Amino acid sequence: MSNCLTLKKSNCKNCYKCIRNCPVKAIRFSGNQAHIINNECILCGQCFVVCPQNAKEIVDETEKVKVLLQSGDPVIVSLAPSFIANYEDVGIGAMRDALKKLGFFDVEETAIGATIVKREYDRMLSEEQRDIVISSCCHSINLLIQKYFPAQLEYLADIVSPMQAHCRDIKRRYPNAKTVFIGPCVAKKDEAEVYKDIVDGVLTFEELTKWLQSEHITLEKNMDSSPESRARFFPTTGGILKTMVQNAPGYTYMAIDGVENCIAALKDIANGKIHKCFIEMSACVGSCVGGPVMEKYHRSPIKDYIAVANFAGERDFAVDQPDALSLKKQFMIIEHELPQPSDAEIEAVLHQMGKYKPSQELNCGSCGYNTCREKAVAIIQGKAEISMCLPYLKDKAESFSDTIVKNTPNGLFVLNEKLEVQQINEAARKIMNIRYASDVLGEHVIRILDPSPFISVMQSGRDLRDQRVYLAEYQRYVEQTIVYDKESRHLIGIMRDVTDEETEREKKENISKQTIEVADKVVDKQMRIVQEIASLLGETAAETKIALSKLKESISNE
């Protein structure tokens, strides 16, 4: 199978929306990136439609078609009948005029090929003894049966699609022509690639629109009509049936759209519950007008159906019906099955996901798989990762954060913008003598703390860091940090109990004060003693001086 769908890895945000919407789970997750599993994909294009990051890309063949135009051979467009729903009020004549400006030789409607195909369906039912016939117009349905319901392959109508029938008819009439199909489908790119030499290029409506815009070509709002255009109904649910005669004896005719509904029908066929019927199957809900590259990217089923119905005529196109043998198409089984793990292996993975009993298997589908066991099988097959389980991640994150919150010695509490307590841990309750968290949860913070600093932080937007305060009511000293988280619009309070530190500091201050006082007293006493000694020494010195002076005088007189 060709790689019609690719992935822009830088855009993938690991949201699992593609796997949730993939009907066959053909997407593998590895390294936080989605990867399309080509041999399992049925190219329904749902991952392209639902991806919110536009990470899925359809391979663009615009340059390939431009090369065809430069070849010198006439290049003729087979235009899918859903164009009338995509390009509002633009008829086939206006489309032909615009496309000729791009260099195409001519433009015809794929509905011509649809006429050939529906006539062959009528012949098959009336002339061949078949139990069940499934239409083979939709390549995604063909791939679904080839890959996932090989036992039902015998019921798939073994004839070409309208695109192939029309392009063959073009090449019969213009032997050297090249053909380009333009439509709303991803799978047609693969069909053209697999069945060589019928369709030389495939463009989506989106690719065509971009090309027209780059060449500054405007589609004229000009409707036309043709009574010979009944097959224009083909791109709607039940559109194939609407064009058929439906007179094969004993047959029931029915139309089913959407891959999930088609899978359910194929399972009923496999179980032997359905017989003698013609089933029109379309992968897209609403059939081709609900295709993945109807470039408006929104579903307008009623409006689109009315647009097709108003454009369709009452009679068949005038076509030369080829012989039945030339319309045959072989469908081969496409092997893709991976080995199925044992129950023990599945149980082991479920245990890794924290699921030890059936009641823990929530089957919530957030990972994209319908059940936890399907997810476990995908993990074993290398298609999924354990971390894709949202309840597992939630429980793990909550357990981890709860462990931190419960065991940190710091008091933690969270307030909303109304200053109501949303969360409080045990350490904070211990600081503020709160017995149970339920006593304060939902209550205004004023019940337990002064709200002023919280209001200040919220209004200023500036966090408060390591402010030491005394909580008189609780007779505790704390270092308080208040942070305002603008994204969650919550205030986070962190308290470190520093009562012991503060008490120790006060003790040291008291000791220092007492030491200073004692030192002062000692100094004072010492000074008094010094002064007294000095005084005594002064008196003795004076008396000695007087005595010596008298002695000197007496000696001098002699």
Reported as a single tens digit per residue, the pLDDT across 265-304 is 999 999 999 999 999 999 999 999 999 988 655 668 899 9
The gap from C-alpha 254 to its chain's centroid, in whole angstroms, comes to: 35
Q: Name the architecture of domain 408-497.
A: 2-Layer Sandwich (3.30)
The per-residue pLDDT for range 456-473, each reduced to its tens digit, is 999 998 999 999 999 988
| Average pLDDT over all residues of the chain | 89
pLDDT > 70: percent of the chain:
93
pLDDT value of position 547? 59
Stretch 180-200: mean pLDDT, rounded? 95
Both tokens assigned to 388: 């894709």
Q: What's the burial of 195, exposed, middle or buried (CB within 10 Å: 0-12/13-18/19+)?
A: middle
More confident residue, 22 or 544: 22
The whole-angstrom separation of Cα 89 and Cα 329 is 36
The stretch 111-133 carries a mean pLDDT of 95
Provide the residue ranges of all domains of the chain, joining segments of one domain with +. Answer: 60-327, 338-401, 408-497, 503-537
* CA atoms of 202 and 466, how far apart (whole Å): 67
Residue 488 predicted with pLDDT over 60: yes
pLDDT on residue 296 = 58
C-alpha dist (Å) from residue 92 to 65, 171, 202, 290, 524:
20, 20, 18, 20, 117
Higher pLDDT, 328 or 391: 328
Count the neighbouring beta carbons within 10 Å of the beta carbon of residue 442: 10
Alpha-carbon separation of residue 489 from 10, 260, 411, 544 (angstroms): 30, 42, 20, 92
Tell me: pLDDT of 369 over 80: yes
Mean pLDDT of 205-228: 94
Q: pLDDT at position 387, please? A: 76
SS3 523: helix
Q: Which residue has the higher pLDDT, 549 or 225?
A: 225
| Number of residues that make up the chain | 558
The average pLDDT across 172-192 equals: 95
Question: How many angstroms separate the CA atoms of 425 and 439, rounded?
Answer: 12
Structure token pair of residue 360 = 């823990």
Q: How far apart are CA 251 and CA 518, in angstroms?
A: 118
Report pLDDT for 341. Answer: 87
Choose among 459, 481, 456, 455: nearest CA to 468.
481
**Predicted confidence band of residue 487 (pLDDT cuts 50, 70, 90):** confident
- Pairing relationship of beta strands 178-183 and 201-204 according to DSSP bridges: parallel
Mean pLDDT comparison of 104-118, 462-476, 488-502, highest-scoring range: 104-118
Spatial neighbors of 334 by CB under 8 A, at least 6 apart, are 1, 39, 143, 146, 147
Please determine, for residue 558, whether its predicted confidence score (pLDDT) is greater than 60.
no
**Whole-angstrom distance, CA of residue 153 vs CA of residue 148:** 10
Please say if the pLDDT value at position 398 is more than 70: no
Contact criterion met (CB below 8 Å) for 44 and 292: yes
- As a whole number, mean pLDDT of residues 401-426 equals 87
Mean pLDDT of 144-161: 96
Residue 224, pLDDT above cutoff 70: yes
Secondary structure tally for the chain: helices H, strands E: 19, 16
pLDDT above 70 (res 401) = no
Over 60: is that where the pLDDT of 1 sits?
Answer: no
Q: Which residues pair with 423 in a beta bridge?
A: 414
Is residue 305 within 8 Å of residue 282, measured between CB atoms?
no
Four-point Cα dihedral 2, 7, 8, 9, nearest 10: -130
Tell me the residue type at 308. V
Residue whose C-alpha is closest to residue 301's, from 313, 320, 287, 318: 287
Helix axes 259-270, 139-148, angle to 10 degrees: 40
pTM of the model: 0.73
Whether the pLDDT of residue 529 is over 60: the answer is yes
Tokens standing for residue 444: 């205004």
Pick the CATH number of 338-401 from 2.60.40, 1.10.287, 1.10.15, 1.10.3210: 1.10.15
Model pLDDT, residue 336: 79
B/e letters for 290-300, b = 16+ CB within 10 Å, e = fewer, are bbbbbbeeeeb
**Per-residue CA distances from 392 to 28, 230, 334, 395 (Å):** 19, 55, 36, 5
Give the model's pLDDT for residue 552. 60
Q: In angstroms, rounded to a whole number, what is the distance separating the alpha carbons of residues 317 and 401?
A: 70
